[in-house]
């Protein structure tokens, strides 16, 4: 579910790991930030 097979097809012949790793780290940071914001907003509603 990381999209690496599709990245291998799109970027054949280039170091895919070096391109995908920053995106994966950024996406994980997005998920954590949105999770904390969602829990804060849920507490405000109650």
| Cβ(10)–Cβ(3) below 8 Å | no
> How far is Cα 46 from Cα 40, in angstroms, rounded to an integer?
10
Contact 20, 7 (CB under 8 A): yes
Q: How many helices (H) and strands (E) does the chain have?
A: 2, 0
**Residues 2-45: tens digit of each pLDDT:** 677 888 888 788 888 788 888 889 999 999 999 999 999 999 88
Domain of 32, in residue numbers: 4-45
pLDDT of residue 46: 64
């Amino acid at each position: 579910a990381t999209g690496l097979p599709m990245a291998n097809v799109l970027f054949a012949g280039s170091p895919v790991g070096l391109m995908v790793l920053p995106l994966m780290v950024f996406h994980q940071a997005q998920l954590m930030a949105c999770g904390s914001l969602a829990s804060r907003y849920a507490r405000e509603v109650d």
